[in-house]
Structure 1
Amino acid sequence: MKLQKEVLKKVGLFASGVLFGTAGIKVLSSDDAKKVYTHSTAAVLRAKTCVMKVASTVQENAEDILAGAKQINEDRELAAEEAAVEDAEEVTAEETAAEEAAE
């Protein structure tokens, strides 16, 4: 008796699975489901386009920032070189003045 109940339970579960599986396939392949899939795919494509525009803008901004940073560094190096030349000219002028005063 107990064995029959277990067998019937397993057969019932199998039959239920087949029934839900068959119904699920019909639901998933229906025209309404296809419309949902189509609209979902269209929404994903719109989102992709939006993300690509934002990524492009971010990349352009990053390139501008990099170019600006390079220019700042070049300006600083040039200013440092000019300061070094001015310091060297001052030292040379002081040495020349000292030599003339010593003579």
Structure 2
Amino acid sequence: MFNIDKNKVKHANLFAAGLALGTVGLKVLTSKDAKKVYANVVAAGIRAKDSIMQTAEKVQASSGSILADAQEINEKRRQDEALFEEEESDEK
């Protein structure tokens, strides 16, 4: 009497199950408990960002100090080399 293709019934059942699961999932994701979890995750992300920014500022300050020291060393070295070259030319 009915000529039902088992493959089509299987696909229809999978679709219905997916629809039901999606509906339940949407309810779970919008629940008050889920929103609390989302808020805690976002708060942890903000704390991590703040910590990273503080570390980056410390590194930046330290690298500025290192750069100034390196420039001072190079300037002293240039002066020493110039003085050494003057002494060599005076000896000749």
What TM-score, normalized to structure 1? 0.79
Write the distance in 2 (CA, Å) between the matches of 1:67 and 1:48: 29
The offset of 1:36, in angstroms, is 0.4
Give the percent of matched residue pairs that are identical in Structure 1 and Structure 2: 42
Relative to structure 1, the CA distance from residue 9 to residue 2 in structure 2 (aligned partners, 3 Å threshold; closer, same or farther) is farther
1:26-78 CA deviation, whole Å, 9 max, x = no partner?
00000000000000000000000000011111111111111111100100111
SS at match of 1:17: helix
- CA RMSD, 1 decimal: 1.6
Q: Which amino acid aligns with 2:74?
A: N
The offset of 1:5, in angstroms, is 1.8
Alignment of 1:17-32 (within 5 A): 17-32=18-33
Relative to structure 1, the CA distance from residue 2 to residue 76 in structure 2 (aligned partners, 3 Å threshold; closer, same or farther) is farther
Equivalent pairs, count = 91
Deviates more, 1:33-42 or 1:9-18: 9-18
Higher RCO (CA-CA < 8 Å; seq separation 6+): 2
Write the distance in 2 (CA, Å) between the matches of 1:75 and 1:28: 65
Alignment of 1:2-81 (within 5 A): 3-81=4-82
Q: Structure 2: where are the runs of 5+ without partners?
A: none
What TM-score, normalized to structure 2? 0.88
